[in-house]
Structures are given as C-alpha cells and as structure tokens.
Chains A and B, each alone.
Chain A
Amino acid sequence: MKARIAIVLLVMITFLSGCPEGGIYYTLENETKTTDNTLRNDIPIHGIARLGSDYYIAAGNVWKGTLTPSPVTWDTATPITPPVGGALCTALVAFGADLYGGFITQSDTVGLHKAAGPSPTTFVGGQIADVGIKDRQVVLLAIVKSLTVPELVVSTAIVGGSPYTYDLLLSTDGAAYSSLLSTTSTKPFTGVAYTSASGGNYWAVAGSSLYSGTGVANLVSVASPTGATSSEVLTSVFSDNETSRLFVTSNLGYVYYSSNAGLSWTRNETAVKVGDTVVTFLTVAGGSGQSKMLVGSDGYGYYVLDTAASPPTLTRFSESTIGLYTASVRRFLIDGSRLFACTLKGLWRNESFNATGCTVGSWIQE
C-alpha cells in the first residue's frame, strides 16, 4: 500500500514539477495570428533610418517604406540603386538630408556612399572620398548628438595589416572625417555614443574594451564597467544625452548602467540566462530620461531594463508565440509611439510604444 502511495506521489510530482506558469495549451488557446505585411521575413535588417516622412531599411538592398497611406508599405521592387551592381548594404543612417550606407561586395569592399535626399534614389556617384573612409569596409555607422549637433560616426576596417585594425571617424558634414582614436583598435567597433556631462565625452566599444575621450584623436581605452571580466565582449553602448546616463551591453548576460557618465557603474545582479544559455545583449534604446529601456538580445527577442530597481532588472518580452520572441534584435528605431525592431529575420513594427513603461501594443511583422 505504501509503495502504491509512493508511486502516485512520484507521478504527481513528475507532472507538477514540469509545470511552468501558464502552460502550453493555455498559450496555444490564446495565440492569435500576427499581422504579416509584404516584406520578406527571412532577411536580416542591418539598419533603419527615417528621412522626411519615409523610412529606409538596409537589408542587402536598401528599400523605402512609405508611411501613408497606412499601413507602411515597402517598395521592394525598386530598391535604392547600390553604388555598384551586387553590392550589399550592411549599415544605414540618415544624416542631414541624405542617406549614408556602408556597402560590401563578395570580391571587395566598396565603403561608404551617400544617396542624396530628400527622396534618394541612388547611391551611384555618392562615394565618400575622404581617405580614412574610401574603399574601406564600414563596420559601424551611427549618429551621435554632441551638444545637440548631430555627428556622423563611421568605423572602418583597415585591410592589409595583420591583424586588421579598425578606425573610428567623426564627421560634422558627411564629407570630411577625423579619427577619434589616438591609436586604432584590433577589434571592430560595435557601438558609439556621446554623453554631455563633464564637458562631453565620446564612448565606444570594441571587443572587450571601452573607449572614452573628449574628441578627435582623444579616445583611449579606459577601465571596463565595474564587474566586467577581461574576456567579456562589450557589444554596444548607448547614451541618454539629457541625463548623461550610459548603457553598455555584454555577451555574458549583463547590461551595465551608469547614471553619471561612467564615473560609477551598476549592472543586473546575475547574468541573464534562458535555460542554461547565457543571453548576449546587442543594443539599448529608450525614451530620454526614462527608467525603463529596451534591450535587444541575440536570439531571445528583447528585454526591458528597469533602472529604477536596485540592482537593475531585465524582463524578457513575454509574447512567446510570435517570431520576435526568438529573434536577434540588433537595432531599434523609436519614432514617437512607433517602434521598429530590426532583426536577423525581418523587421517588426509596433504602433503603440509608450516610452515611459516601455509598453507596446500588438507587433506587426513587416
């Protein structure tokens, strides 16, 4: 009799111990089909930019998305003409009235090119001739706001040496570039930001190194955020100009946060894991001065970072039945209540983003 009771208890423990909150059937019961627009879902979106009332995405080709009439429609039939046939756009920003794209080809790099606005149609003839840029592979393209003046920052690979080295260049007009570095890096730059506190500082990350400096030829490698190990790859840096907050993401499940422009750092208490896998965080975005920020991850959708908590907490986006849940979110674009998430498998859009709590409505797959 005791043996039978033990068996019954064992069976019950087996079934109940495997129960997550909710349950699979409950999840299925509440699953609804995501709106899926015409843009292909299997393409990596490397970047997105808004120019005028239109959006442009880098997905190998550069395509234009028109806001009106709603919904956003993507003209994939007529891409912005690449600088040479077969060139793939891997980085894209809008700077001034123009689009800037970093292109590569299978045989050679083709560097940074401009497509003149306000309604760009071609990158042909728009090669940036600056010697620090021309014919070099663009590994990072970003806009930073230095004392409210937008600046274009480009990281290029300097091919020929062994190992390759990487430069980080700054431009105020898109034509002339100056290196921010005192010495080039052997790791590619994956993020750049600017904080206005203490006279202003540029920040950049490359491999395990955090760079900081006040301007041209001034950035040097500085101490990593408190707690970061020497082998920890710092994957991106994001700043919040109004409060001089600084965020650094890593490949070991941490987001480092500084509220005083890098003087002191805090991070989430334990590394974020899914199962046994440590989450690599890729990018941060959010409303200026907001306590909650969006954090993109590699393969686990996005998280919401709550800096009001001590230590900061990270909560994964909960809509597990849509593809965004397991996507690699590499970029966000926040445009009022409209939020775009660029992933390795397509572009996602949300029309009800609220920066205060980082809340969203229904996601649409473009």
Chain B
Amino acid sequence: MNKRFLSILIAAVLITSVLAPLAAQDEQDTQGKPKEPPPQYTLGDQTLSINAGLFVPLFFLTYQFAAAPTHLTIGGAGSLNWMAYVNSWLRVGIEVGGMFALSPNGNTLLSLPMTAKASYVLSAYPFEIPFSLGVGMNVVKYIDTSMVDLILKPGVSGLWAYNASWSFGLNATYWWSMQFSKTADQGRIGNFLELSLCALYHY
C-alpha cells in the first residue's frame, strides 16, 4: 500500500511540475502580453521534450492473440525525446524512457525503452497534434531476470504553443512490447498505455 501511495505521489509531483509553467503563462496572458506570430519550423529545426506521467498496464497477449491480465498496478512513466524537423510537418529522432509498476507481491517491473521515432505534425496554431511511431528495444527487468523486447510505440499528443520555443501538452502512447521466450507458448506481447504530460522546447 505504501508503494502504491508513493507511486501516486511521484506522479502528482511530476504533473504539478509540468503544469506550473502553464499556470504562469495564463497570468501573463491576462496582463496583455502581445501574442507572437505562428512559428514556422523547417529542415534543421530541432526539439527536445520531457514527458512524465502514468503508466497503465492493459493486458498481455499471447502470440495466438489470447489476452491475459498483467496483475500490475498503475505505475509511472517518463521519457526524454530529441527530434529534428525534416520539413514543416515531419520530425524524426530518438526517445529514451522508463517505467515502473508493481506486481501483486510488491515486486517492481522496470522497463527502459529506447526507440527511433517519427512524428507527423498537424498544426493549427497555437495547437499542434503530432502523431508518432517509435520502434526500438525495450530492456525489461523483473526481480532477477532481464530481457530485451522489441517495442512499437504509436502515440498522439495534443500540444499548446506557449511561444515559438515552448509547447506544453498531453501524450497518449501505446506500448506494444513483444517478448519472446525459448518456451514457445510462454512468449507474450505486453500492451500498455502511457498517459503523460509533455514540455517541448524548439530550437
């Protein structure tokens, strides 16, 4: 129970820390700060983003597509992301993340996904909606076992441009983590959902 409370507390702190700049911006807007023109990003422009939020275990899937419960608690997830614009609507880059969740007996499941990522960006200033797909490896550790999975991370974000440099918003990312086993019928595909807050910096 204490670990569960700690998870919620950490998530709350992360959420608060990301929301704080937004609150500050609201105040500035009410003080009549002039709005900036819509930014135009082109080849060579880059972004850095930090994401933190909740990790929702959904279900495991056998390779015969039978679903089974994960028995995991809701956990925490976070990531760092670097991307570069190919043109005004496509950016590519890499993402390194991590998550944790607890099992029924209080053991911690840890994952460290490292993915190559591409985002197709729909823009309607001051909002932008990037649709993303990450592909890479997921280092999974549980008790004394470590494995390397193949992972696909499709996702969508809703971002609000604070100014030409900073955007803030929400991510919903699906984790499709394919784990193979030497015992044929014991391979599983982990299906998880990451719901996170995002702070994105353009430069």
Binding site for B on A (CB under 8 A): 11, 14-16, 18-29, 31-34, 274-275, 320-323, 325-326
- Binding stretch for chain A, among B22-30, B66-74, B114-122: B66-74
B105 within 8 A of A: yes
Query: Looking at the complex, which one of B109, B150, B182 makes contact with A20 (CB distance below 8 Å)?
Result: B182
B103 within 8 A of A: yes
Residues of B within 8 A of A18 (CB): 146-148
B72 lies within 8 A of A23 (CB)? no
Complex CA–CA separation, A326 to B141 (angstroms): 15
Binding site for A on B (CB under 8 A): 60, 68-72, 103-107, 109, 137, 140-150, 177-183, 186-190
Residues of B within 8 A of A24 (CB): 109, 140-142, 145, 147, 179
A29-B68, A31-B71, A274-B144 known; A323-B105 Cβ under 8 A: yes
A28-B60, A29-B60 known; A23-B181 Cβ under 8 A: yes
11 sample A-B contacts, Cβ–Cβ < 8 Å, listed by A number? A14-B137, A23-B147, A24-B147, A26-B181, A29-B69, A29-B188, A31-B107, A32-B71, A33-B105, A274-B144, A321-B103
A21 lies within 8 A of B182 (CB)? yes
Closest to B106 in A: A323
B144 lies within 8 A of A16 (CB)? no
* Pairs A-B, 9 closest by C-beta atoms: A25-B188, A33-B104, A23-B181, A26-B186, A18-B148, A24-B142, A29-B68, A18-B147, A25-B60
B180 lies within 8 A of A320 (CB)? no
Complex CA–CA separation, A285 to B21 (angstroms): 63
B144 lies within 8 A of A320 (CB)? yes
Of A26, A28, A29, the most chain B CB neighbours within 10 A belong to: A28
Closest to A25 in B: B188
Complex CA–CA separation, A27 to B103 (angstroms): 10
Complex CA–CA separation, A23 to B179 (angstroms): 7
Query: Looking at the complex, which one of B69, B143, B178, B186 makes contact with A321 (CB distance below 8 Å)?
Result: B143
B182 lies within 8 A of A29 (CB)? no
A31 lies within 8 A of B105 (CB)? yes
Q: Report B92 CB to chain A, min CB distance, Å.
A: 18
Query: Looking at the complex, which one of A15, A22, A28 makes contact with B150 (CB distance below 8 Å)?
Result: A15
Residues of B within 8 A of A27 (CB): 142, 145
A21-B181, A24-B109, A321-B103 known; A29-B143 Cβ under 8 A: no
Complex CA–CA separation, A320 to B178 (angstroms): 22
Complex CA–CA separation, A28 to B143 (angstroms): 11
Query: Looking at the complex, which one of A15, A274, A321, A323 makes contact with B180 (CB distance below 8 Å)?
Result: A15
Query: Looking at the complex, which one of A19, A32, A320 makes contact with B104 (CB distance below 8 Å)?
Result: A32
Q: Report B57 CB to chain A, min CB distance, Å.
A: 9
A21-B182, A23-B181, A23-B187 known; A28-B103 Cβ under 8 A: yes
Residues of B within 8 A of A321 (CB): 103-105, 107, 143
Complex CA–CA separation, A163 to B139 (angstroms): 50
Q: Report A298 CB to chain B, min CB distance, Å.
A: 15
B190 lies within 8 A of A25 (CB)? yes
Residues of B within 8 A of A29 (CB): 60, 68-71, 188
Complex CA–CA separation, A275 to B141 (angstroms): 14
Q: Report B7 CB to chain A, min CB distance, Å.
A: 17
A326 lies within 8 A of B142 (CB)? no
Residues of A within 8 A of B142 (CB): 24, 27-28
Residues of B within 8 A of A19 (CB): 147, 179-182
A32-B104, A33-B104, A321-B107 known; A26-B188 Cβ under 8 A: yes
Residues of B within 8 A of A326 (CB): 143-144
**Given A28-B71, A31-B104, 14 more pairs with CB closer than 8 A:** A11-B150, A15-B178, A22-B186, A24-B109, A24-B140, A24-B179, A26-B188, A28-B60, A29-B68, A29-B71, A31-B103, A31-B105, A320-B145, A326-B143
Closest to A365 in B: B105
A28 lies within 8 A of B109 (CB)? yes
A275 lies within 8 A of B143 (CB)? no
Q: Report A28 CB to chain B, min CB distance, Å.
A: 6
Residues of A within 8 A of B186 (CB): 21-23, 26
Closest to B186 in A: A26
Residues of A within 8 A of B177 (CB): 25
Complex CA–CA separation, A146 to B7 (angstroms): 56
Residues of A within 8 A of B178 (CB): 15
Closest to A322 in B: B105
Residues of A within 8 A of B148 (CB): 14-15, 18
